[in-house]
Structure 1
Amino acid sequence: MTATTRTTKRKKKKKKGKGWLILLLLAAGAFFALYQLEFKYWDRSMPTGMHPLVAEKRDKLVEEASKKGIQIMITDDFRSAAEQDELYAKGRTKPGNIVTHAEGGKSYHNYGMALDFALENQAGEAVWDIKRDGNKNGEADWMEVVAIGKNLGFEWGGEIFGDFKDYPHFQMDFGLSIYELQLGRRPK
């Protein structure tokens, strides 16, 4: 093989390599442009209340539990990022026990997509006993409420957070991660 032939082959390889690089750059640019276009229309403002479907299901949860002779109270639903930060500080920078692992903006509560409940005794006080059988049907009232919630489309905090069991927690994430919500994506 002559020196001229080798030089010609090297030039063709270089051109071919540059072609792939140009295609890759064009594809990346197109992806970025589409992403930016979609992102531009996301709602970056924070919600100020419960998502309407979650609020409807919350009320249905209370109603369905009552039909089974179980009184529950909603102890928390929507909370602002500032309220979330206050809860997060408990057991860390403020007195008390740790009650959440999520800072402001990192909880489904901050997007109106989560709620917490407790059983309610006859005096109207919150009861956190997950084994209590107040309606005397042989089943723990707490787990009956969990079954109702799951049937309504909620995810239960006793199953979704790995090692941390948040038994009073229900959420509907609508297929959106906290990261997507922080970026401004909202459920329809």
Structure 2
Amino acid sequence: MKKEHDVRIDRTKLHPWLDQKLTVLLKKCEKQGIYLIITEGFRSKEYQDSLYAQGRTKPGKIVTNAKGSTWSSQHMWGIAFDIAINDSKLLYDAATIRKVAVIAKGIGLGWGGDWKSIVDTPHFYLSEWGSTTTRLKALYGTPDKFKRTWKKTVKREKGALLWKASSKKTGSHCRIPKGAAVEVLYSKAWYTKVRYKNKVGYVNKKFVA
């Protein structure tokens, strides 16, 4: 097994929360001596349609039930990535991928290995919207509209403190100045969890828009 991860995707096209979880997953896998290849991330409509054609109108076996035109692949929404093991002898080794799945589910990711229709063991995804794209389509319609929620700007004149924890009891990383852009991981209660200059923390959600 090669003792390094091989990330072959453009991580800037992943939802910021998924990208953050991917960072955590890679670190945790490395601690257990498992090194990954990240083989798939964001997919365009055209690429998704070409995969859907495989095993139908093109040679090969069926690998997806999701047409690009229906926005039904989690990859098209930037909330999923696929893996292989960075070892030519263990590339899709079931036992090793199950070990990765245990780690991934421990940090809140969903796993395609739990699916009933087209079990997809190399597939991991943000589970906040369920195991399909139905809720995302109902909320946003298209991936482009969804992506507009990934970034916000600090609008408060005094800026916004980036708290280390949502309880505010552990202090702050820094003050984010007015007009600065932040990557939105998720929002709850009074706060929005964001990433700013590689620091992850919490800001009062009324201070960003």
Amino acid at match of 2:103: I
Q: Which residue of 1 aligns with 2:74?
A: 108
Residue 81 (1) aligns with residue 45 (2): yes
Q: Which residue of 1 aligns with 2:57?
A: 93
Residue 165 (1) aligns with residue 119 (2): yes
Map Cα deviations across residues 66-110 of structure 1 (whole Å, 9 max, x no partner): 111011111101111211111111111111111111111111110
Tell me how far apart the structure 1 counterparts of residues 97 and 129 of structure 2 sit (CA, whole Å).
Answer: 26
Structure 2, gaps ≥5 residues long: 1-11, 141-145, 150-185, 187-209
RMSD: 2.2
Tell me how far apart the structure 1 counterparts of residues 100 and 118 of structure 2 sit (CA, whole Å).
Answer: 20
Larger radius of gyration: 1
Give me the TM-score of the superposition, normalised by structure 1: 0.62
Within 5 A, what are the aligned runs for 1:1-188?
49-104=13-68, 105-121=71-87, 127-131=91-95, 141-159=96-114, 161-175=115-129, 178-183=133-138, 185=140, 186=146, 188=186
Give me the TM-score of the superposition, normalised by structure 2: 0.56
- Contact 2:64–2:118 (Cα < 8 Å) also in 1: no
User: Structure 1: which 4+ aligned runs deviate by more than 3 Å?
Assistant: none
* 1:127 aligned counterpart, secondary structure: coil
Alignment CA distance shift 1:106-1:73 (3 Å) = same
Structure 1, gaps ≥5 residues long: 1-47, 132-140
Once the two structures are TM-superposed, the CA of residue 179 in structure 1 deviates from its matched residue by 3.0
Which protein has greater RCO, CA pairs closer than 8 Å, 6+ apart? 1
Structure 1 vs Structure 2: percent identity of aligned residues?
37
Report the structure, 1 or 2, having the larger helix content: 1
Equivalent residue pairs, number: 129
Once the two structures are TM-superposed, the CA of residue 174 in structure 1 deviates from its matched residue by 1.9
- Contact 2:66–2:73 (Cα < 8 Å) also in 1: yes
Amino acid at match of 2:104: G
* 1:99 aligned counterpart, secondary structure: coil
